[in-house]
Structures are given as C-alpha cells and as structure tokens.
Amino acid sequence: MNTIQIKDKKFSLSIPESEILEAVRKVGEEINRDLAHKNPLFICVLNGAFMFAGDLMKTVSVPCEITFIKLSSYDGLYTSGVVKEIIGLNESVVGRTVVVVEDIVDTGITMERILSSLRAKGASEIRVATFLQKPDALQRDIQVDYVAMKIPNDFIVGYGLDYDGYGRNLKDIYTVVE
Ligand code: IMP
Ligand code: MG
C-alpha cells in the first residue's frame, strides 16, 4: 500500500523497509569498528527509537549494555520545544563511553538536552547514533556521529516514529502529503 491515512492526514510511502535495514546495518558495522574495546552503554531514547535500536543491536557485536530513557517533546506535527523526562537513567555513566540511540535529530533541542545531562552525570565519551536526521531543521550546534539516513524537512511516520501516537508500527517510512 503506497498511501495511508492516519487520523486527519494522508501519508505516502517514501523509504521502503529494505533501504532502512541496509542503512541501519551500515551504522552497526561502523559502531563495531569504532567501539570494539570501549564497553559502550547504549541509551535508547523511547518511544521513537525502539525499532531502530532493535535492528541496530542485531548488528552490534561488541561487548555492550543497553538501557532506555523516555522523553517527550512533540505535540502532533510540531515540536513543542519543551522536553519532558518521563523515565530517567538508572545506570551510572561515570567514566563510561555512551551511545545515545535516537529515532531522529530534528531541531536538535532534545539531543542537546540529553547530551548536557550525560555530560553532567560524568560520561567520559558520548556518541550519538540517529536513525534519521533532518539537516535543514537543525537549530543547535551538536555533533551527530552516526546517521543511518538524511531526509528533507517534512513530517514522516513509521519505523518507530509517530503522528499523535499512531504509525510507530509501520515497517516503512511514510511522508505526509500536503
Ligand atoms: P528535536 O528536539 O526537534 O530534534 O525533535 C526530536 C524528536 O521529535 C524526535 O525524537 C522525534 O520523536 C520527534 N520528531 C521529529 N521529527 C519528527 C517527524 O517527522 N515525525 C515524527 N516525530 C518527529
Ligand atoms: Mg524521539
């Protein structure tokens, strides 16, 4: 199905599952090369990154741990700019290499907040792995180390990303149709 309806919006297929999985596998292989002896702690940012993290971690083969935090900043189609922490971090990151696993870096406001909190908690090395990046929407000076795919500044759903809570279960990415 190439066009779908979620609530009041129509979306059309823009990135098929096969391309997604190939791009995610490449990120996993880069991480294996870079972090082989670093015993990294992966921090998956819920809800959106659950599917990316699941597939990514199937390729990551270095000794590592994975944990989860939960944040929320979106309200429908637009970022509210206010990032709420709903589930915090339980593990110590002192002296540790951490990899933040995100669904998308859009304005970068969420990531900036996560990075400053991890720095304050004493992480020695912080890397960012994001499934998607919208380079044209970036408003913060943050370093993103691993990007599976770069996309235009349009609203998308699928592969973990939602419109008002729906669409996270789609295995492909769909873009909103104006
Ligand atoms: P930022 O703080 O503006 O970078 O937004 C980051 C968060 O907004 C992401 O983790 C997503 O949950 C959400 N987000 C950004 N763009 C989209 C989109 O196109 N569709 C669905 N969620 C999005
Ligand atoms: Mg998110």
pLDDT tens-digit readout, 18-70: 999 999 999 999 999 999 999 999 999 999 999 999 999 999 999 999 999 99
Q: Which residues line ligand 1 (CB under 6 A)?
A: 48, 73-74, 79, 102-111, 155-157, 161-162
Q: Which residues are catalytic?
A: 106
Domains of the chain listed by start with CATH number: 17-148 (3.40.50.2020)
Q: Whose CA is nearest to atom 11 of ligand 1?
A: 104
Helix, strand, coil percentages, rounded to 5, for the chain = 25, 40, 35
Round to whole Å and give the CA distance between 54 and 62: 15
Q: What is the pTM of this model?
A: 0.94
Cα–chain-centroid distance for residue 67? 14
86, 68 in Cβ contact below 8 A? Answer: no
Index of the ligand 1 atom closest to the CA of residue 83? 2
